[in-house]
Structures are given as C-alpha cells and as structure tokens.
Amino acid sequence: MKTLPNTDVMATILAIPPHVLAPEESADQEDSQHPVPVNKLQPTTASPSIPKIIVPSTEGFASALDLAEAIEKSLNGPKMKMKILETGHVLITPPDQDIFNHIMSLNQKLATSKADLSPAELASEARASVRSAPTHAADIFFTDGSVDTTIATAAAAVHHDEFAALYRLPDNSSTLQTELLAILRALQLAVPRDINVTIHTDSLGAIQALQTVSPKDNVNLITSVLATTKNIHGNGRYVHLNWVPSHTGIPGNEAADLAAKEALSLPQVTAPIPPSISQIKASVRRVSHEQAVTCLRPWITNPTSSAHWYNTTRTNTTPFTRNIGRKTRNALHRVRIGYKCLAEIKGTLPLACCHCDAETVSPLKHYVMDCPATSDMLARGHAAAKDVIANTSHDALARLVTHHPPPR
C-alpha cells in the first residue's frame, strides 16, 4: 500500500494523531503507538456477558492507513470536494442533496406521530422499528450520548452484543456532539469487521445533521461520519441508520444509555474533538461579558460625576427628534452625559462663555443654569443642572444645541 502524501492533513480530517497514520517502523513502536485491535481489547469493568471497553482516543484506527487512503480518494474524487477551513474543521460539499441516501439507508419515522402515542404504544412502535432494520450478515450497534449539565461533562457509548465501548468527550461538549461521536465510533469499529452495519440511535438531531447538505457547524464530526460510511459502502457493504425513541425498553438502547452515563465518570478525555463554532461563539460572548464587567465594575462602585449626571438624565423618556444631523446629535448626547469640556481636561479654567462672555469654572453648569442665551429653551427651576436636562424634552434640547451649541 502506498504511503499517504500528507498524514498531517489526514490526521486533521480523522481527528487522530498524525503518528497513527504514519508508516509502521517496528513491532515495538506499533505496540506503543497503535490502538489494540478490537478483538484483543480487554474489558475494564467486570460484566457477566458484555465487556466494557474504555477506548483510547486513537481507537477505531487499527487499519488507519486503509481507512485514510479510502477517505482521501473519496474527498478528492469527482463527486466530492474538500476544503480545510481551519484546524479540526473539514468541509465536504456534496454535488447533490442525495449523497446521504447514496451511501446510507435510513429510517427516521414511526408509523404514528410520537406525540400521539401512549408510552405502551410508543414502546411497541420502537420494537417494530428495531425489528424492521436489516440484520442479515450485519453488525448491530446501539449508540447513545450523555451530558451532565451540572458539571459540564460529556460522554458517548457504543453497545454491541460482544462489547460496549465507552468514550469521554471534552467538557462542555453538546448533546449533538456526543451522539455524532457515538455514531462515528460505531462506524469505525465496524470498518475492520467486514460485514454490513446497522446502527440504532435515539437522536433525531444527529440524523438531521448528517443530512445537512453544507454543514456550518460540527463539520469534522459530520464529514467524518459520511466519509467512513462512504468507505464501508464502497467495499460493497450497506450501512443502515435507524432511529428508535429513547427510554422505550429496547434492551440495546437502554444498555447504550447506561454505558454513556457510566462513561461520564471516566477520569480523562478519551475522544478529543474540536469545539463547535457555536461553542466558540458562546465562549467569546462569555469572556467578553466577564471582561466588560471587570472593566466597568470600578465605574459602577465608584461612579464619576458624569456617571451621576447620566443616571439622572437617562430618566428623560421623551422621544428623540427624527432626522437630526450628526453634529446636532453629538452635541445633544454630550449634554445628556454631562461631558467635561477641553478647558476642564487641560486645566485652563476659567473659560469665557461663547454666548454671554461670562467667565466660569463650570462651563456646562453655567450653560444649563445661568447663561441668559439658553434660559428660554430649558426647564429651569430645578436645583441641579442634570435635573434641568432630565426635565427638558429631547426636542427642546435638540433646538437648544442647534441654536446655542454647548461649550467645547
């Protein structure tokens, strides 16, 4: 088999370390770097029937070079194109909207709407859905994800008649990410087993995400599922994805649910995935808010005279004049926030009023309270200048600053 020209790129696509895709160097190195094959994994939790496997982060790639080469052909083939968006995000854009149905059969509907069914009827429909899924010469997987919102942990699990594989995702991963990861890992476990694949999931959201023509988020997970499915399909095997409602007494679904909850307690992350774009945006909003609060807290706890002024003038709820010019609008807002003029900032007071020539050490207070040129336009009669502004309509203030601009 030929060596891939760029193992770093393929590692990005598959979300696995580059050394897993690198050519084998020796038996010793292979033992230390490559995951143990599925059929040799030992259970970590005692069970009378199904071993629980805590799968390392590189699990599922015992035949990584085969899988990587197949995926590379798929990505570079005539029917699909690939664009590296950023580290950990790969976009595959299908040429038509039926690409999902070309590589995977699907059942995501019940005979009757879920909302119209009693618990007993829903359980009966779920059993019928499982029975209708293809089982001939097929591996049967049940997948599930779990999120503990109280401590922000996330996990996924794959249940098979022979084993259950447990995965711990990074904290704050979403429910959709856990469900997609579980489906992906089931497919990766199925790759070397060389038979057909049927996957039962209780996540409609994951199925709908996989049907998205041009995914904008969780791109790495979605395209990895599609590429792995395409690889299996290209070998003459079918992949069937079947939706079953959760908590309806289906043994495999209940076992996957319990395994996913058990995986929440794993001590470290075993399935690292890049954060979704929505998670990044949420983190940016949270950090920005925290930084803004940190910066503004001193101003809130020890407000300046301008803050005191604006806390009063903001109570003026009269409507603003429409279509006023920018110069007038800026002057109006300066009066509303109780700004300091340049002479106060430079320390060159007193300043002569530009309307009555009176010298003053408080230019804005003089403009509002004492200047004869502005007396007819303001609701004077209040003890403080800020109260005068708060009780003068915004229309009147706009006329004031237009005919008699405030001190600069």
Can you tell me the mean pLDDT for 153-174? 93
Can you tell me the mean pLDDT for 51-79? 45
pLDDT beyond 90 at 331: no
pLDDT beyond 90 at 186: yes
For the chain, the farthest-separated pair of C-alpha atoms sits apart, in whole angstroms, at 99
Distance, C-alpha 227 to centroid of its chain: 22
Best CA proximity match to 262, nearest among 51, 61, 58: 51
Residue 268 to residue 5: CA distance in whole angstroms: 33
pTM here is 0.55
Quick one: pLDDT band at residue 142, thresholds 50, 70, 90? very high
Q: Which domain holds residue 152?
A: 39-61+89-284
Each residue's pLDDT tens digit, 14-54: 333 333 333 333 333 333 333 333 333 333 333 445 666 55
Each residue's pLDDT tens digit, 2-11: 333 333 333 3
Residue 86 to residue 201: CA distance in whole angstroms: 29
pLDDT at 108: 63
Instruction: Answer yes or no: do 261 and 192 share one domain.
Output: yes
Min mean pLDDT across 72-81, 172-181, 398-407 is at 72-81
Q: What is the percent of the chain where pLDDT is above 90?
A: 20
Can you tell me the mean pLDDT for 345-350? 88
Q: Which helix (H) or strand (E) holds 81?
A: strand 81-86
Strands of 94-238, DSSP E? 105-107, 138-148, 153-159, 164-169, 196-201
Instruction: Answer yes or no: do 224 and 110 share one domain.
Output: yes
Quick one: pLDDT band at residue 314, thresholds 50, 70, 90? confident
Instruction: Answer yes or no: do 328 and 211 share one domain.
Output: no
pLDDT at 379: 80
End-of-domain residue from the set 284, 313, 346:
284
Each residue's pLDDT tens digit, 215-263: 888 888 998 998 898 888 888 888 999 888 888 888 989 999 999 999 9
Reading the block at residue 301, the tokens are: 């706890």
Instruction: Answer yes or no: do 45 and 157 share one domain.
Output: yes
pLDDT at 276: 86
Q: Say if residue 350 is preceded by a cis peptide, omega within 30 of 0.
A: yes
Residues with Cβ < 8 Å from 408, sequence gap 6 or more?
341, 342
The verdict on residue 33 lying in a domain is no
End-of-domain residue from the set 284, 315, 344:
284
Number of domains composing the chain: 2
Quick one: pLDDT band at residue 214, thresholds 50, 70, 90? confident
The verdict on residue 26 lying in a domain is no
pLDDT at 7: 37
Q: From residue 389, how far is each of 312, 337, 340, 379 by CA, in Å?
A: 9, 10, 16, 8
Each residue's pLDDT tens digit, 256-284: 999 999 999 999 999 999 888 888 888 88
The verdict on residue 297 lying in a domain is no
Instruction: Answer yes or no: do 254 and 328 share one domain.
Output: no
Reading the block at residue 321, the tokens are: 């004049």
50, with CB counted inside 10 A (0-12, 13-18, 19+), is: middle
Can you tell me the mean pLDDT for 337-354? 87
Residue 38 to residue 139: CA distance in whole angstroms: 14
Best CA proximity match to 398, nearest among 339, 308, 327, 315: 327
Q: Is the distance from CB of 222 to CB of 210 less than 8 angstroms?
A: yes
Q: Say if residue 272 is preceded by a cis peptide, omega within 30 of 0.
A: no
pLDDT beyond 90 at 123: no
Residue 128 to residue 147: CA distance in whole angstroms: 28
